[in-house]
């Protein structure tokens, strides 16, 4: 997984591939780049990635459309036999409208990727700054190389530097003594949509296996919320979220 979909950490793919090559170069590496594609720089040939999955909806293209990058040195067995579509790998009528929509979304995304990433980094940085200035008793779970992420005033330079290890599109925060499901529904009523984990596991009632693996305390896992940022978000919306968090958290903490 190139970018973790719950906490936004950017995995050291190049290091993993180098370790693999030092053991056995014939081992095939598949990378789940769903959260990375169109959001951070990916150079599959340079990195030595053999197979890589990407998805259209993550760059605002049509839902239900994806693609598989296959290194020219890798031979993939046929998935479906028949008409020979998709270079003989997967036969069946091709989804022309979906493919075209994905292609257009990719063109739009990559034509302004540097500009968008700068905007997203600023949004996430400002959100962290406003959290520290206005909210107490919280902990940022996403990779942040700062000691000031527990509700006290944060150093801006430290916050800026932390984003090199983390996607600017995801921020996982735990609010102490506040059940995440309760907070989620309160925010929902204010047209603020967050999640308590990855979208892939939204129907599960068990605690996040990702946060468990990180050794996060159960009490913090129970209060963990994932904020996802979009190129369509603006700074005014960040301010609105903070304003609503102040009101909602005070209300919930009086009950719990």
pLDDT, tens only, 202-241: 555 678 899 999 898 988 999 999 999 999 999 999 999 9
Q: Residue 149: which pLDDT band, with cuts at 50, 70 and 90?
A: very low
Interval 11-38 mean pLDDT: 95
Secondary structure of residue 31 in the 3-state scheme:
strand
> CATH 3.30.450.20: does it fit domain 13-111?
no
Q: How far is CA 61 from the centre of its chain?
A: 16
Q: Residue 163: which pLDDT band, with cuts at 50, 70 and 90?
A: low
The residue annotated as part of the active site, out of 27, 28, 104, 200, is 200
Per the annotation, the verdict on 200 as an active-site residue is yes
DSSP β-bridge partners for residue 66: 55
- For the domain spanning 113-255, the CATH number is 3.90.1150.10
Report the C-alpha dihedral over residues 105, 116, 33, 62, rounded to 10 degrees. Answer: -20
Interval 80-106 mean pLDDT: 89
Instruction: Give the separation between CA 256 and CA 153, rounded to whole angstroms.
Output: 25
Residue ranges, CATH 3.40.640.10, the chain:
13-111
Residue ranges, CATH 3.90.1150.10, the chain:
113-255
DSSP β-bridge partners for residue 166: 9
């Amino acid at each position: 997984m190139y970018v973790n979909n719950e906490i936004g950490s950017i995995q050291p793919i190049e290091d993993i591939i180098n370790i693999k090559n030092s053991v056995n170069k014939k081992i095939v590496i598949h990378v789940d780049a769903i959260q990375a594609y169109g959001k951070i720089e990916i150079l599959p040939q340079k990195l030595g990635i053999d197979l890589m999955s990407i998805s259209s909806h993550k760059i605002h293209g049509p839902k239900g459309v994806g693609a598989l990058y296959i290194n020219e040195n890798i031979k993939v067995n046929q998935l479906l036999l028949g008409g020979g579509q998709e270079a003989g790998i997967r036969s069946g009528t091709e989804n022309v409208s979906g493919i075209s929509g994905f292609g257009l979304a990719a063109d739009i995304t990559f034509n302004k990727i540097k500009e968008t990433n700068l905007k997203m980094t600023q949004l996430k940085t400002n959100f962290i700054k406003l959290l520290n200035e206005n909210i107490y008793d919280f902990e940022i779970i996403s990779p942040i190389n700062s000691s000031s992420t527990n509700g006290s005033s944060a150093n801006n330079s430290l916050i800026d530097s932390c984003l090199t290890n983390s996607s600017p599109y995801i921020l996982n925060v735990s609010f102490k003594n506040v059940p995440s499901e309760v907070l989620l529904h309160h925010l929902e009523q204010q047209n603020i949509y967050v999640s308590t984990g990855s979208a892939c596991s939204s129907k599960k009632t068990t605690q996040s296996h990702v946060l468990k693996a990180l050794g996060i305390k159960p009490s913090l896992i129970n209060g963990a919320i994932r904020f996802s940022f979009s190129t369509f978000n603006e700074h005014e919306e960040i301010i609105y979220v903070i304003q609503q968090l102040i009101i909602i958290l005070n209300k919930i903490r009086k009950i719990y």
